[in-house]
Structure 1
Amino acid sequence: MTQFEHLKAVVFDWAGTVVDHGCMAPAIVFQEVFARRNVTVTVAQAREPMGMAKREHILAVSRNPEVADLWQQAHGRACTENDIDEMYADFIPLQMEVLKDHSTLIEGAVEKASECRARGLKLGSTTGYTRSLMEVVCPRAAEQGFAPDSVLCADDTPAGRPAPWLLFRTAELLDVYPMEAIVKVDDTPVGIEAGRNAGCWTVGISTTGNGVGLSRSDLNRLSSNDLHERRTEAANRLFDAGAHTVLESVADLVPYLGQVEASLAQGKSPKQMGH
């Protein structure tokens, strides 16, 4: 198998990219923590900030104008920082429980990770989950055959996505540089923005991710027209965030890595290349 010479690492997101088809686990819990305070949050509202660190995600949902109005009606005042802290405190144990049933690997993740390693690439990973939450996910993923060389979480750096710090720290842990020798794979716009901010190549994942937001079984029940519409909308959001390319699934990744290798061999950089 031909080894990559210029490309050195791939950094994967977790939920919606390599585990939890449709990124179901966080959406369920974000809705629940608001429901416990008599505020009904739609699935779309719960998913909108996906990829951020989870406290920042809750804060972003609370600032959605419609959600803010519902909070005002329910509580007679605006949502406060103390409310955010209380919801976040509820979120962590709830998410831990839900994750036990939402850590199944997405089809193709193990095979493509193995192929990347066989071609000389190091494998990193970053996530909006905290370290305590990943202590639930990582062992389950490893049992299924997916164990990247590094796992960095939202609480490992001063700021999560779209800041580039998780990717810079990953590069340090993997001993990989320059940043243009790294491909970031993510199903959320803020994850793509983080990749661009770090100077990496960025690959958006549409069908299995948060943008489409459906489990595999629900996805299979869609009509071809509905599926095309959802995929296109998800892909457009990822392209708008700066993705160099968008794929339906991580299972489609390796051929694009070959294109990146060819671009690097020609002296091209992520900053020079649009989608």
Structure 2
Amino acid sequence: MTTTSPIQAVIFDWAGTIVDFGSFAPTTIFVEAFRQGFDFDISLEEARVPMGLGKWDHIKQVGLLESVNTRWTKQFGRPMNNDDIDTIYAAFMPLQKAKVADHAAPILNAIEVVNNLKAQGIKIGSCSGYPREVMDVLSPVAADYGYKPDAIVATDDLAQGGRPAPYMALKNVIDLEVTDVKTCIKVDDSAPGIFEGHNAGMWTVGLLLSGNEAGLTLEEFQNADETTLEMARTQATEKFSASAPHYLVDTINDLPKVVADIERRIQAGERP
């Protein structure tokens, strides 16, 4: 294929970015896993706070939230420990594997956007906070919908760990045989995924309305008036602020205009 773009690769997150509008598959399962493991309730909002991390680390960070730690200590007489995290993770995994395929539908024109990138000779990478055994369930179902990235990296594929470190993004670089990280774009709906892109030396694009930070269902997004959407954008922008994405857009449907601008900037000699 003839490459027509100075961009070599775009590396996408999965839930909330390409599939699963609102990133509900992992968050609802976290709530259920805490309940199943210890008869302990967390809110969907609490489950969302560390989104983007590997799932064991995600559970740990939920346990460290002040609100959760206070209730946990009151209920069990001590803070959450690693054995507790292991128990919750053990409950999480079969629940997630059973439910993840139900949330594999692509987000708003995602397949068209990805296929247009491929038509320009741009390689498609992907990485996720999901472990490999979940990705092995999700990726074939996503492929049936038409999403077939050139590389898939799961959070436990690498001994060094997942986000916000750059290792998953850089494993995509190696697998895709990309020669220059400055020609790569990392697209994600969570702050840890944006930090991952920065740490890998890539351009970064945060998605405001399709993913974890806004937490809207597809129906809520489609039925919302502009005032409601602007409130959601403001909320999500604040959550992204520390990670400072190069670009913020509503959904993957808005990515082509960002790609065009990054192409212009690369051709002008700019770096991420």
Query: How does the TM-score come out when normalised to structure 1?
Result: 0.94
Tell me what 2:95 maps to: 94
2:19 maps to: 19
> Pairwise mapping of residues 1-275 of structure 1 onto structure 2 (< 5 A)?
3-36=3-36, 37-157=38-158, 158-270=160-272
Q: Deviations over 1:164-211 (max 9, x none)?
A: 001111100000021111000000000000000110000001111111
**Which SS does the other structure have where 1:21 is aligned?**
coil
* Separation in structure 2 between the aligned mates of residue 102 and residue 110 of structure 1, nearest angstrom: 15
Q: Structure 1 residues 223, 261: closer, same or farther in 2, change over 3 A?
A: closer
What amino acid maps onto 1:23 in structure 2? S
Q: Distance in 2 between matches of 1:105 and 1:5?
A: 25
Question: 2:93 & 2:29 partners in 1: Cα distance?
Answer: 9
Name the SS for the 1:256 alignment partner: helix
- Percent of residue pairs identical: 36
Letter in 1 for 2:14: W
Contact 1:196 1:242 in 2 (8 A): no
- 1:235-270 CA distances to partner (integer Å, 9 max, x unpaired)? 232243120001111111112111111111111100
5+ long unaligned stretches in structure 1: 271-275
Amino acid at match of 1:11: I
Segments of structure 2 that go 5 or more residues without pairing to the other structure are none
Counterpart of 2:18, as a letter, is V
Distance, in Å, in 2 between the alignment partners of 1:111 and 1:221 is 23
Normalising by structure 2, what TM-score?
0.95
1: CA distance between counterparts of 2:3 and 2:113? 14
Q: How many positions carry a matched residue from both structures?
A: 269
Partner SS state of residue 46, structure 1: helix
